[in-house]
Chain A
């Protein structure tokens, strides 16, 4: 334990050691040192990773299922999430292709096929935690039920857009993961409990 200069004092009372500090500064100097020690590349990357991940949740790209998915990844299966996710994206593209073929000709639309495709997509996306994709699938299914080809086409487009967007985002996330691993750090598993909720309190250098 670092004694914060003269601001803190140590006392032995009843055989126990008490560490007193007159004000917060004693603690904060100690904390500062710890913080400085934490200021390594790994910590920065980890923070970056966490912030990015949190933002994906906040923006609605991912939901709780993704968290569950991440829980399943351990030393025995280090690439579990990446594998599942890539399988999901392959699935997406295959399904979207087949569905777009079905919806191609306006007079000959096989809504059953489209419906089954949407069902598959919905199932996959909910397994993976791709929230936005899943939501589009829900509206897609509705359009399919009423056999609204225009609606279906719109939803198809949106699904395509959403899954590609998610693909890019997750790619960035996995890159960050790789960087952390390469830098010798561990991938943060849980969200920080005490996130600083005032990101606007940043040291600003323009008075």
Chain B
């Protein structure tokens, strides 16, 4: 018999090969099963986040046990002890427990794990989306920057051309356009003309009618409108065989007029002139117009409109300013010319006025005096007419004027009568003008050195000259002593005098002063003060006339008997042709019948009893001339037949006169003879038949 052993006889298969394979596989499984958890642990340790650690542990345990099981299985292929079987069983049991637990757990876990995955996916999508949006925002921000820069560029200039050119350039750059063009309306408003382009330097000047449907389409909306690349406004260049023309967008640019601006009302109405901006994307690029790009274009169009309006306003105001400046300059010139003309006229009038008034006063005075004399009715009428022409001041005022003449004043003086008269009239006129009442006294005397005179004026009377002093005193308004220096200045008037009411231009005293100075004299005014009257005093240098010493000259200047020498026959003898002619002319003017001879012999031959006077020139040195006188005396024995003999000489000395007398001449005349002198001499001669001295 065989003994029963507790050994489990393994079915030692007949197939040892199969056993071997199972053995190997189990081994590998075990290994794998042991290594998987290791890997898991390794990687879990490596990863930062793993929420399900304990699941892992569980799973690990499960796998380890499975591995253990398979490992232990290795020993069971051969005869093995009971321990092994025990261990095996334990392992299996454990494995079973753990794996069931794991299986149960997985039911909970796997959905979780799956949802993690979903969330991950979701997040990834989100991230992608955000990225996209980020990209978009960046693009937009970029675009915005471009717009700002563009606007800045556009608005930085007020020049139309620059604005438009810059716009096109910047737009082209920003949007990477192939072509960009601006169509402006023509003056008539019926056509759009291609004004600016980006690429073409000199755009061909061609126009399209404004009523095209595509244009209308763009003009009705303020938005950028996509238009067909084949429309007339977009066909800017000859199509050069491009496969696909880029998309084209057009937008209107309002052209604002000054008149469009109202304060509260942004212009978007009424008269609308628009320009058309056309933008073309590059051909063959398959690019499309994006919304943000269109927005950019719209914004730019608006900015351009604003900038253009500013430029227009500026132009307008510059033009207005230039015009105003021109007008101002012209007005200024005109004003200055007018002023100088007025000044000149006033000056001229003032001087002329005064110059005319003074003789007027003289005329008045003299006419008044004339009225006092005996006049025929006709003459009186004429004088009254003259007087009526001008208002006589002094007659109306009735101011008594007294005249005092010093006894030592010479009877005849030499001087400028007319100007002296003017001075006197002026001063007396002033006295009359500025006196409302009272009397006026005029005093004339010879200035002595001890008389009161201004310290810088010395009176030096010479033998032939003297200084005449005239004082005109009035009891009128008087003058403030401080104003006295100003009186002699042309046009200066003092306020203290009632000058406004009495008129007067202030020239009189200045002119008088000038005359007085010319006569080597001095003029001044003394006054106690306002209301105390004033005295005007002037000194002038006058010559003492020699005529006052003469007694021979007839006192009556015009001898009524012989004023007319008509037909009086006279003979003139003079060697000097010129003086002969002059003397002849003189006598002819007086009405005489003149014969002339140039030598004494001729004289003797010609002289006859018909000649009443013989004028002979005795200037040439020598005694021969005087001989003729003797001859004539011899020729005409009868006194009444003999012509009167007058010598014309250049000498004034006594010896000549004596000689003449001794030779029987009836008179001597100093050459050259004046007309008046000759007249007087002739009349005196013919009356008295003798002439004593005529020099």
Contact = CB atoms under 8 A, between A and B. Distances in A.
Interface of A: 1, 16-24, 27-28, 31-32, 35, 64-65, 68-69, 71-72, 74, 76-77, 80, 83-84, 87-88, 91, 116, 119-120, 122-124, 126-129, 193-194, 196-198, 201, 203-207
Contact of A123 (B347, B352, B505, B671): B671
A174 B11 CA distance: 183
Interface string B614-638: 0001011100000000000000000
Contact of B650 (A87, A88, A116, A126): A126
B567 interface: no
Contacts of A126: 579, 650, 671-672
A196 B355 contact: yes
A127 B349 contact: no
B578 A127 contact: yes
B353 A201 contact: no
Contacts of A127: 576, 578-579, 582-583, 671-672
A46 B165 CA distance: 76
B578 A124 contact: yes
Contacts of B583: 127
Given A32-B349, A196-B351, A197-B511, A21 B650 contact: no
A84 B388 contact: no
15 contacts: A18-B388, A27-B390, A28-B352, A31-B352, A31-B353, A31-B356, A68-B673, A72-B588, A74-B589, A87-B578, A123-B619, A194-B358, A194-B422, A203-B345, A207-B336
Contacts of B515: 197
Contacts of A119: 619-621
Nearest to B518: A197
Contacts of B321: none
Contacts of A203: 344-345, 347-348
B503 interface: yes
Contacts, number: 135
Contacts of B355: 194, 196
Interface in B537-580: 575-579
B586 A72 contact: yes
For chain B, what secondary structure do more than half of its interface residues adopt (helix, strand, loop), or is it mixed? helix
B588 to A, nearest CB: 7
Interface in B262-293: none
B589 A205 contact: no
B119 interface: no
A111 to B, nearest CB: 13
Given A127-B579, A203-B347, 5 more contacts: A71-B675, A87-B581, A119-B620, A123-B578, A194-B358
Contacts of B585: 69, 72, 77, 80, 84
A15 to B, nearest CB: 10
Interface string B375-417: 0000000001000111100000000000000000000000000
B29 interface: no
B620 A204 contact: no
B388 A19 contact: yes
B593 to A, nearest CB: 13
B351 A207 contact: no
B504 interface: yes
Nearest to B677: A68
B514 interface: yes
Contact of A124 (B388, B576, B674): B576
Nearest to B576: A123
Nearest to A192: B418
B348 A201 contact: yes
Nearest to A196: B355
B503 A193 contact: no
Most chain B CB neighbours (cut-off 10 Å) among A31, A72, A83, A205: A72
A83 B578 CA distance: 10
Given A77-B589, A197-B515, A128 B347 contact: no
Contact of A84 (B353, B360, B490, B578): B578
Given A128-B578, A197-B514, A24 B353 contact: yes
A21 B340 CA distance: 27
A77 B587 CA distance: 12
B520 to A, nearest CB: 16
Contacts of A91: 576-578
A20 B674 CA distance: 46
A123 B267 CA distance: 105
B609 interface: no
Nearest to B575: A120
